[in-house]
Structure 1
């Protein structure tokens, strides 16, 4: 049945909403015209659905209605929420509850900027819906951010209109299945038309929704290439967090996070700050990054395993980036979209990760091969901070000074090292070189002891308390 519903055109969806006499609401659209409500007007029967439609184009009028934005930014999540607050407040205030008994109220809003005349900025926007799934229930919220890909303002406006219809229809027909709702946002749309890079659900009908899983759902369905969430588990728009910031990132599996990861982060970050004295807490963003490839290492993505990693990193107070950028140069390219020439990017990595960077087979899809990739990776403002590795078989400490790459890349490697693009982390704890996450995982699964001290803070207690990474308290009690 859901497959048939997803094949409905925007006009058919709008008509179904219009013919449902229990649904009643308002539309407020800023910046790209009244593109969504247009579908409901044209579908017919809108008088039973639309309480009001408006578009406050003039900034002074908009400020008078929703309040002034003192930072001068109007295409923001904060602006969208002010619009939703105001419009729902008016409905509650002006509509007689007895006259509209049995009605489920909603307010749809968007604040958008489309492509500029010079076609330098593609355009983006915030889209949101606040709605009652049933009469007299509390309000639910769906808020998302979109980035337009089309090269015409008119096409972008039409795409926005379809997206809005899909959102409203999905809210009333897929409330009990948020994953289906997310997929339905692209009904009759192509991923070449727009990118959805953030979505958050809240409210009584979504109280069991983990927004981090919704972010993962965006990635898995190729709606975006990277998502981000904060320590509170709430999804964050990458552009808001990274804009004009210096970035220090560390990629890993974090399964689980160990003292090695924390030592690598802190010691690498200390060097990054010393190299760039202009960096302050205010202009720095630290990220833990996990790739989709890493999440799929054990086969299909295990959502419980994903949440285990996310829970621990969030409890340690870090922002987490999940990306589809297996190659580091793509990650740097992504960061560069939001940073500026004067900002710096630091990458903390282990020896194995750096060796993977120097494998030519990863760059066969580039016309310029590994040289093109390195040109993007080792930009003027990018530096790698390398954590050493103790080779147990050879008994050698591997660092940037004695690392061996293929013969045809030796000179290239030497060039980057001599120009301080690759720098050894020197102030590390030698005891951490004995720690290996795979060994710890086996110990956890086998109910062994002694692994707890290899993890930071109270991470071991969290793993035991929540039964993460295969820890089974009952089984371990029996064994021990």
Structure 2
């Protein structure tokens, strides 16, 4: 596979090295030395290094513990009996790093930068029902005297042929190793370079985490945002500790309650909506607390400012939601039915959407569904035919009247459709709310914070104003004073 030229308009912006050139550059670096352990799809990555030439100075060992019993004997038995997991990959990396450290004398090889590359994957099954997925990672040194860095990612194959998937995996592996050594100082670029000589219809990367001394300043939440921004995946999730988590793992067979918002900043309205909706959701049949996951979702369109994504603004929101112990999802789903479809890939359990009146009115606006051949009816079929309900939080209108599901107004053409879903119990009003919260609007709070206007703190959940002040989020500046 030869070099590629990347263009921006008519301008050449980069000459992309071929996969052979990347492997050869690694091989010709006399200080890079390590092992390859690949399970499930053959030795697809290491073969590129063998073929490039000069591999004896790079490859300490290459193995494929393909047999499950043999794999268990080498890496231990997994409690859940599964092999294609993050935990399995971490065990592989740890085991191989330990071996290379034990077997090679540091005094004899003072300049060697050791690495261990590993993958554990399942390619497409014979019936072609499951396209396959896998975990890929590298544990490596940039300096012989430094601790190891680690890059771990999860992939989903999109191709429908096992051989093609194996080839794709091999190219990805070379890109990862090359990027780890030559692009580590810019993780955002490293992320993009993972797709060199690959198309996004071949492979999806839905989770990635960087760790180690060279990535001490990397916030993995910001990296997960890049995955969605670059079109590498449709949605990413991170936990309250800020670690990127695999959606499939946390959503699997769960009851899901999702709350969409800008959370700029998160206010008492958001938390009241969350608490009251969750209380009602848990009272539903077939919903058990221990099997329920609440997700605060932010759409990519909600993060754009003048066409560009404001990363500082995103991190401010993420910081607050994590401080409140919430699981956050960033998606490129503008329409709600796409969110529900996404969740339905991983669970058949009951779902709930918590939203305000304005959001529900938007759902019944036909302009959002003109791209669908079946229009709004197709969208509503995807949205409401599942075991899903909307928990509707009321709104205070400009006349001081409270709008609920009984009094909201949709387009005249949508009235009967709305009545149908309302009559069938798909839309339920949140009743036990705090009326004082209806006077709180996040855009007003944000303006007060920016302008130094006093009195915004009581509009936020306990502890949130302290976080904003301590970390100077959303443009907070203690030196600002109110200008009349």
SS at match of 1:473: coil
Instruction: State the SS of the aligned residue for 2:227.
Output: helix
Structure-2 residue corresponding to 1:227: 236
Q: Counterpart of 2:363?
A: 357
What does residue 368 of structure 1 align with?
A: 374
* 1:114–1:153 CA contact under 8 A, matched in 2: yes
Does the CA-based 8 Å contact 1:6-1:184 persist in structure 2? no
Cα shift at 1:22: 0.7
2:265–2:442 contact (8 Å) kept in structure 1: yes
Q: Deviation string for 1:358-409 (max 9, x for gaps)?
A: 11111111110000000001123010000000102x3321110111111111
Three-state SS of the structure 1 residue aligned to 2:289 is: coil
Alpha carbons of structure 1 residues 201 and 6: separation in structure 2 relative to 1, 3 Å: farther
Q: Find the aligned partners of 1:201 and 1:49 in 2 and give their Cα distance.
A: 23
d(CA) in 1 for partners of 2:328, 2:274: 14
| Structure 2 residue matching 1:321: 3-state secondary structure | strand
Q: Structure 1 residue 323: deviation in Å? A: 0.3
Report the secondary structure of 1:349's partner residue: strand
TM-score (norm 1): 0.97
> How many residues get paired?
474
Q: Which whole-Å CA distance do the structure 1 matches of 2:323 and 2:425 have between them?
A: 34
Q: Give the corresponding residue for 1:445.
A: 450
Alignment of structure 1 residues 1-400 onto 2, 5 Å = 7-276=16-285, 278-297=286-305, 299-340=307-348, 343-392=349-398, 394-400=399-405
2:138 and 2:151 in contact (8 A); partners too: yes
In the alignment, which residue of structure 1 is the partner of 2:466?
Answer: 461
Name the CA distance, whole Å, in 1 between partners of 2:244 and 2:83: 20
Is residue 282–residue 289 contact of structure 2 (8 Å, CA) maintained in 1?
A: no
- CA drift of 1:99 comes to 2.2
- Give the deviation of 1:356 after TM superposition: 0.8
Counterpart-to-counterpart distance in 2, 1:217 and 1:194: 16
Give the superposition deviation at 1:446: 1.7
**Secondary structure of the equivalent of 1:456?**
coil
Q: Is the 8 A contact 2:151 2:211 kept in 1?
A: yes
1:5 Cα deviation after fit: 6.9
Equivalent residues of 1:6, 1:187 under 8 A apart: no
Q: Distance in 1 between matches of 2:289 and 2:419?
A: 33
- CA change 1:221–1:353 in 2 (3 A) is same
2:123/2:131 contact within 8 Å kept: yes
Residue ranges of structure 1 left out of the alignment (5+ in a row): none
Q: Give TM-score, length-normalised by structure 2.
A: 0.96
- CA gap of 1:52–1:6, structure 2 versus 1, over 3 A, is farther
- Unpaired segments ≥5 residues, structure 2: 7-12
Cα deviations by residue, 1:332-376 (Å, 9 ceiling, x for unpaired): 000000002xx1000000011111111111111111000000000
RMSD of equivalent CA atoms? 1.4
Given that residues 198 and 235 in structure 1 are in contact (C-alpha distance below 8 angstroms), is that contact kept between their aligned partners in structure 2? yes
Whether the 8 Å CA contact 1:76–1:125 is kept in 2: the answer is yes
Give, in whole Å, the separation in 1 of the partners of 2:370 and 2:155: 31
Distance 1:160 1:349, change over 3 A: same
CA distance in 1 between counterparts of 2:186 and 2:307 reads 25
- Conservation of the 8 A alpha-carbon contact between 2:299 and 2:332: yes
Displacement of 1:184 in angstroms is: 0.4
Structure 1 counterpart of 2:479, from 455, 461, 474: 474
Q: Check whether the contact 1:416–1:422 (CA below 8 A) recurs between aligned residues.
A: yes
